[in-house]
Each structure stands twice: as structure tokens, then as C-alpha cells.
Structure 1
Amino acid sequence: MTAMLSEWIDLPVSGPFDLGASARFLEGFTPAGRQSYVDKGGGSLRLAFPASPSWRPVGAVVRQCEPDGPVQVRLTASPADVPAAVGHVRRILSLDVDGAGFPELARRDRVIRELQAGLPGLRPVLFHSPYEAACWSILSQRVRMTQAATLKDQIARRVGVKVAVPAGAAELSGIQLDAFPAPRRLLELDHVPLVADVKNRRLRGVAEAALEGQLDAAYLRSIPAADALRELAQLPGIGTFSAELILLRGAGHPDVFATAEPRLHKAVTTAYGLTSPSVTDLERVAEDWKPYRTWVSVLFRARGEMAALPA
């Protein structure tokens, strides 16, 4: 079907949300690469991705005139894909989660109070899909993140789809972004460009799993997190760290404490003044973050990355 430009569509938001904070976070989110574009002048965010279940390419521009104000999206998509594409955008920006209770955590925990005060309105910004999160997990194995991001961009340019993304404001023109290849496209290739044989096989396995529904975000969030992690870890090349990444930053599960993320553990240890805690000890601390354990973890990561930026 021919892609068409939709009207502006309202995205329901429950709780604090600042698209500007999401855009700033996304600028430092290495895996996003060339599949996103932050328009600093117009205050909009533009995205390009294949949307399940059809996996046809979608272009999206999201706008918010002021923090905690209305959020809208405009799409370049086949008409039949618009509902699914809206769902993707809501999940990517964590707008599909009721955040009304998130500020309450700050009232009972000084650490979270400081995190939220330093990063107001920030919610996790996710991969476009669990499928792309799984592909990133494979591409980033045994290489630097910047190298993996360049590789992901090159694959998108060579065998992905160029997507027309609408403008965020009347005075701005639309742009084209390279969407990462959909699962069927990867399976059509004799070999994914620029990757070794072992990663090629693993990427094909991920593509097959996506088409079979094993990487469906709604499914992964509908079952107990422990079960989802076990299922994901059965995919070729996916270990504990990658399984957590796919569930938390791909499917967007809002309430899991990552057990295989040393940087998070170090940040929590420092913030709470702990002495040589075990992972179990840290999980006990995170119990008080429910039902937003993932969200708090992302605030720790974002604060750490901001602190690492040159003055």
C-alpha cells in the first residue's frame, strides 16, 4: 500500500513528560544512529523504523510545545499501519505507561528526588522495537558502541529503506531517514553486509524470531519478566545482559531491575552509600522503586552520561 501523510494525532500522556528531555537523551543514545533526528529549532523529534506486524517502513515526527503539554505525532505510513505505528511511537517514548505515580517515589526517597529534579520529565527512550534491540545486541558484541552504531547505520543505508519523515512545523521541510531493514528483508539477503558469519547467522535467527512473534513487545510484557528473560536468552547470541536490554529497552517493560548492568550497580551503590553490596542487596534497594524500576534505572544512566560530558 502507498504511504500517506496523516493528520496530527494526539498521544495520551499520564504523568510528567518532557519531549525535550527525551530528545536530549536520544542524542546521547548511541544505538539510535541515523534512524532518528532531533530538530532543536522546531522542538520536534523525527523517527524512521519498520513497524510490526506488517514491518512496513514508517516515518514519524513528534512534537510538544511545552513540558507536560499535549503531545502529537504525524506519520508517513500506509493507512493500515497507522494504529500500529502510533503504538510504536507511544512505546518508544514510554507514553504507553501510566506515569502518574512516578513523582510519588521522590516523596519517599531522596535519591530518586535528586534524580527527578535533575532530569525532569525524562522517561526511558527505547529502541524502535524488541527486534531492533536484539539486532543491536548482536552487532555490538565484542566491539565498541560507536563502532556498532556506525555498522548499524551502514546496514540501514545499504539494505534498509529511506523513509520520508514529515516536518515538525510549517516552516520546516521534511527529511529522509534510513530505517533499519525489516526482518523479512534480512532473511532475503544472502549475507547481511559488513558482518562476520557468526553475527550473520545470529541476525537471521533474530529476524526469524521476530516474524514468529517471539519478539512482540506486548507479548514480552504480558508474561512474568523472569519468563520473558528466559525465552529471550534462548535466542542465538543472546545472553543475560542482552535479554535484559531487549525486555527493558526494546519491549519497554517499566519495572525490572537489571542484574547484569555493572554501571547501574555502581551508580546505585554510590548514591545510597552502600559497602560492597551483592546484586541481591541492590535488588532489595530497587524494591522501593516499584512499579518503575526500569525508569529509575534509566535516570541513573542518564545522570551518569551527563556527568561524563565535557564542561
Structure 2
Amino acid sequence: MTDTRELAAAAPRGSFTIEPRGPFSLRSSIRFLEGFGPASFGGADDDTGRLDLAFALEGSWRTIGASLDQSPDGTVRGRLFAGKPLTRPELSAARAQVERILSLDVDGSGFEAVGELDPVVGELQLRYPGLRPVCFWSWYEAAAWSIIGQRTRMTQAAEVKRRMAEELGVGVEINGVTHWAFPSPSVLSGLSGFPGLTGAKVERLRSLGEAARRGAFDSASLRGMPRDEAFALLQELPGIGPFSAELILLRGAGDPDHAPVGMQRFAEAVEFAYRLPHRPGAEELTDLSESWAPYRTWVTLLLRVEFDAHQKRVADAR
């Protein structure tokens, strides 16, 4: 088990501000995270509007904490926590990682125009104001989740991921509460076993940890290369197929402009939102989503949230 004593008593080590470009609501992000099991998340507080999170910093993979809130003028303010002082490059990297996690690294000033052209999207934007995709803390953690969740119920996979963080990860004290980060690549590369994981998953997680530890790629490089090339590169990781590669690129690296036209749940969400008389196929979904550019991922999230809310209403009515 990783020794967490050093960071469990972490102190504030810096602060930053982010000026969102276009509509953004931290409270909407918090409400999304509260229902997002894979995050194994306990630091979202809708009452106070504060978001606390612990994550491994891409590159050095040093564990740090961040506490975020949003002022009335829309500015997002962040405080960073760590056991030892952060270097200037680490401070910049932490801010950039928070921006990516909350999709604040994307200029959203043109997003409302998508809703003006597409009334269905416009209605969803009014229903979920300021909601942008909330990513996994890193591409690496998204990849780990995709492996942990293979052939496993989401609730069970989320519990395994949570226990891995608490038993193998590093703790950071944020506002008096200890939050646990998912184990760093160096820890995962030496994984010999863990309750709830098959031998095959352990082996795949070890390979993932080694790839991340040696810096095979990062979120920025994945975002910067042609999408097909990124998909192919990710699928070189053991256990990562097309579906997982798509999840890593969209929800890990934060690609803002891709519609998962091959995903059944996406087709179901479109069928429901657009009141279609049939389940749309990949070609129809591709044609429809072209009008959402350059925010196809953002619209996909709104459709998913609306469809999930519908399914919950149906289940509650039974």
C-alpha cells in the first residue's frame, strides 16, 4: 500500500483563476458528477457550489488536490493542495489539467449558435444551462476505467475503482477532508492483483501503467493528432478496443467535437430527443451531428443527460 502520510496533511500551494469563454456553470458540472459513478467522487457539493478533487498530475504523475468554486461574475477560482511546494511548471500544468477536466480549455462562445440552428439542441441548452463535458482526471484514468469496467456492472466497477484509490492511491487533504487519487502509473505498473479484478485485467492495467509511466502520449498529444491516428494509437494498448479508445479520447483527452455514431446508447438518445419514428443508423447520425460542429461531444453529453433523466423517470414510475 502506498504511504499516504506525506500528502494527507497537504497545505495550500497556489491558486489560479479561469475566465470561461462562453456559458459555463460549475454547479451544472457538480450535478453531473454526483450521478457519474465512474468518478468514484465525494468532493462535489451542490449546496456550496464547491468542487474538490485529487488527481495525478499528467507528466510527473505527482498527486495534488484542487478546490474550485465559481464567483457570481462567472470566474472559476482554484486553490491547489500538495504535501510539498509546487514548481512553476507544475502550477501551470495543474491549471491546464483542471481546464481540460471541466472543458474550459475550449472556446464555448459559439455553442449557443448551435442551439439557434437546431431547436432540439437549443431546448437542451436551456434545460441544462452551462453544462459542458466533465472529463476523467486524465486520459490515463479514463483508460484504467475502461479496463476495470469491461464485462462488469458499472456500480461494481466504480466500487473497485474507489477501493483502488483508497488502498493504492495517495491522499490529499482538501478543506479538512482527505480525498484519494487513483493510483499513479508507477503503482499500476507494479500491480500484482486486486480484489474484483481478473488476472487479465490486472495484466492490462500493468501495461497501461507502464505506457503512462514512460510517457507514451498525453492528453494534449492525443487531442492534437488526427482522430483516426489517435484511435489507432490507443488501441495498441492491451485491452483497448474501438469503444474504449473512443471513451478515452472523448472523456479522457477531452476531444470536444466527435459524435459516437456507432454507440447504441447515443442512437437511443437521439431517437428520444428528436422524436424519431425509428432508431437512426450511423450514416443518419453522422449527417445530423454535422450541424453541431465544432461541439459534437458537447451536444452528445446533453442528449445523454436528457435520455438518462427520461429513463430514470420511467423507472421511478414503475
SS at match of 2:171: strand
Change (3 A) 1:43 1:237: same
Q: Which runs of 4+ in 1 moved over 4 A?
A: 1-4
2:177 is matched with 175
Hey, what's the Cα distance between the residues in 2 that align with 1:280 and 1:159? Answer: 44
Q: State the one-letter code of the partner of 2:67.
A: V
Structure-2 separation of matches of 1:95 and 1:149: 26
- Please state if 1:297 is matched with 2:300: yes
Q: Secondary structure at the match of 2:80?
A: strand
CA distance in 2 between partners of 1:83 and 1:301 (Å)? 32
Classify 1:5/1:101 alpha carbon distance in 2 versus 1 (closer, same or farther; 3 Å).
same
Inter-partner Cα distance in structure 1 for 2:310 and 2:228: 32
Whether contact under 8 Å (1:115, 1:299) holds in the other structure is yes
Instruction: Give the whole-Å Cα distance in 1 for the aligned partners of 2:151 and 2:33.
Output: 23
Q: Distance in 2 between matches of 1:212 and 1:285?
A: 40
| TM-score scaled by length of structure 1 | 0.92
Contact 1:16 1:100 in 2 (8 A): yes
Measured in 2, the distance between the counterparts of 1:269 and 1:222 equals: 32
Instruction: Output the CA distance in 2 between the equivalents of 1:107 and 1:283.
Output: 19
Whether the 8 Å CA contact 2:169–2:183 is kept in 1: the answer is yes
| The one of 76, 80, 97 aligned to 1:75 | 80
- Which AA in structure 1 matches 2:99? R
Gaps of 5+ in 1: 168-173
Give runs of aligned pairs for residues 1-311 of structure 1, distance below 5 A. 4-34=11-41, 36-66=42-72, 69-77=74-82, 78-80=85-87, 81-165=90-174, 167=175, 174-272=176-274, 273=276, 275-310=278-313
Q: CA separation in 1, counterparts of 2:247 and 2:302?
A: 15
| Residue deviations 1:45-74 (CA, integer Å, cap 9, x gap) | 0101111111011111110134x6111110
Contact 1:43 / 1:65 at 8 angstroms: preserved in 2? no
Quick one: distance in 2 between partners of 1:214 and 1:107? Answer: 41
Q: TM-score, normalised by structure 2?
A: 0.90
Q: How many residues are paired up?
A: 302
For residue 51 of structure 2, give the secondary structure of its aligned residue in structure 1.
strand
After TM superposition, give the deviation of residue 215 of structure 1 in Å. Answer: 4.1
Contact 2:22 2:108 in 1 (8 A): yes
Would the aligned equivalents of 1:186 and 1:192 in 2 still touch at CA under 8 Å?
no
Q: 1:274 to 1:181 in 2, by over 3 A?
A: same
Task: Kindly indicate whether the alpha-carbon contact (under 8 Å) linking 1:240 and 1:260 is maintained by their aligned counterparts in 2.
Answer: no
Give deviations 1:143-197, integer Å, cap 9, x for gaps. 10000000001111111111112x3xxxxxx211111100011123333454211
Task: Give, in whole Å, the separation in 2 of the partners of 1:287 and 1:153.
Answer: 37
Alpha-carbon separation, structure 2, partners of 1:152 and 1:188: 17
Paired amino acid for 1:25: F
| Structure 2: unaligned runs, 5 residues or longer | 1-5
Q: Give, in whole Å, the separation in 2 of the partners of 1:192 and 1:50.
A: 20
SS in 2 for 1:275: coil
The percentage of counterpart residues that share the same residue type is 46
After superposition, the CA RMSD in angstroms is 1.8
CA distance in 1: counterparts of 2:58 and 2:226, whole angstroms: 22
> In the alignment, is the contact (CA less than 8 A) between 1:102 and 1:292 conserved in 2?
yes
The answer to which of 190-199 and 258-267 deviates more is 190-199
How far has the Cα of 1:306 moved from its partner? 2.3
Cα distance in 1, alignment partners of residues 237 and 44 from structure 2: 33
* Structure-2 separation of matches of 1:222 and 1:152: 29
**Distance change in 2, residues 1:306/1:110 (3 Å):** same
Amino acid aligned to 1:305: D
Q: Do the aligned partners of 1:88 and 1:128 also contact (CA within 8 Å) in 2?
A: yes
* 1:130 and 1:247 in contact (8 A); partners too: yes
Kept after mapping to 2: 8 A contact 1:18/1:121: yes
Q: Which residue of 2 aligns with 1:170?
A: none
Single out whichever of 206-215 and 261-270 deviates more from structure 2. 206-215
